[in-house]
Structures are given as C-alpha cells and as structure tokens.
Amino acid sequence: MTDAPERVELLRAWRAEGLSLRECGRRLGISKNAVAGFCHRHQIEGPPAQAVRLEAALAALERKRERTRLAMAKARAAAPKPIVERRPEPAPPPRLDLQRAAIVPVRGCQYPIGQPARVGFYFCGDPVAPGAPYCPDHVRLCWQRLPRREAAA
Ligand SMILES: [Zn+2]
C-alpha cells in the first residue's frame, strides 16, 4: 500500500467515522494488519473503541427494553381480567368488656368464679350471709376457724 496523502486522509476520515480496521482493509483491498500498520505509521487514531462499544451496547439495551415494554403491553391487553374472589371478613372473636364488667355492680355473693378477663367469668351472686360479702357456702369456704390451741403445760 502506497502512503499517498489521499489515502492518509481517506483512512483518517474512515477511522474518525468509526469504521473498523477490517472494514477499512476490505474497502482498500488490503489486510486488517496492513491497515493497522499504515494507521500506526501516520498516527491515525481510530474511534475510541470502548466508547463505541458502550454506545452500541446501550443502544441495544434500549431497543431490548422497548421490545419488552411492547410485548408486556400486548400481553396485558390480551390477558383475561383476573377474577378477584372476595371473602367476607371473619367475625372478631368475642371479647370480654373488662371496663363494663368492673362498672356493673355485683349484687349478692361476690365470690369470683372462673378466671377474670376470660369469657365465662362471673361472681356467685347468691344471697349473702349477714355481715359478709359472700353467701353462707362461700363464707364457710373462705373463713375457717383455727383449731383452739391447748394451753402449754
Ligand atoms: Zn357464693
């Protein structure tokens, strides 16, 4: 390959456009390595290869994104509407209203039956023994006489 000034300018232009060494060689009918040597001798720089590859990759990515977006929109339009099954909300579990239970005055025997704060708790409610808060049965259960102590000898 002759180092004619026209060729130098031609190659400089092609390389600036981003043509590869292989493509420049194909156009000139010489090998890629011959083009590389020529460019080296005349200090002809090629395109910043990495930047070109990065731009191409970004462009390809954007095209792929667009294809995906279109495919998804198409699929969404074609898909049947999902059937939303509505279930009734479960009824809340029964709760003991503690404040209310504390306010309600207890008539009769106040002996507690069951666990406070649990469903099913209540007070005995039978008629009370005179002077006591409980009915006679619960008075007997709660107050027991201590056995008399024998006088020590
Ligand atoms: Zn009672």
CA–centroid distance, residue 129 to ligand 1 (Å): 9
CA–centroid distance, residue 86 to ligand 1 (Å): 50
Bridge-partner residues for 53, per DSSP? Answer: none
Kindly state the tokens that stand for 53. 């590859």
CA–centroid distance, residue 138 to ligand 1 (Å): 5
State the pTM of this model.
0.32
Band (pLDDT 50/70/90 cuts) for residue 57 is confident
| pLDDT for position 103 | 47
CA–centroid distance, residue 141 to ligand 1 (Å): 9
CA–centroid distance, residue 145 to ligand 1 (Å): 19
What 3-state class would DSSP assign to 140?
helix
Instruction: Give pLDDT tens digits for 71-105.
Output: 999 998 888 877 777 777 877 766 666 555 554 55
CA angle 8, 14, 16 (to 5 degrees): 100
- How far, in Å, CA of 7 to CA of 35, rounded? 11
Q: Is the pLDDT of residue 33 over 70?
A: yes
Band (pLDDT 50/70/90 cuts) for residue 34 is very high
| pLDDT for position 73 | 92
> 31 near 25, Cβ under 8 Å?
yes
CA–centroid distance, residue 25 to ligand 1 (Å): 112
CA–centroid distance, residue 99 to ligand 1 (Å): 23
Kindly state the tokens that stand for 38. 């020529």
> 123 near 111, Cβ under 8 Å?
yes
Band (pLDDT 50/70/90 cuts) for residue 69 is very high
- Exposure on the CB side of residue 121, measured as CA atoms within 13 A: 16
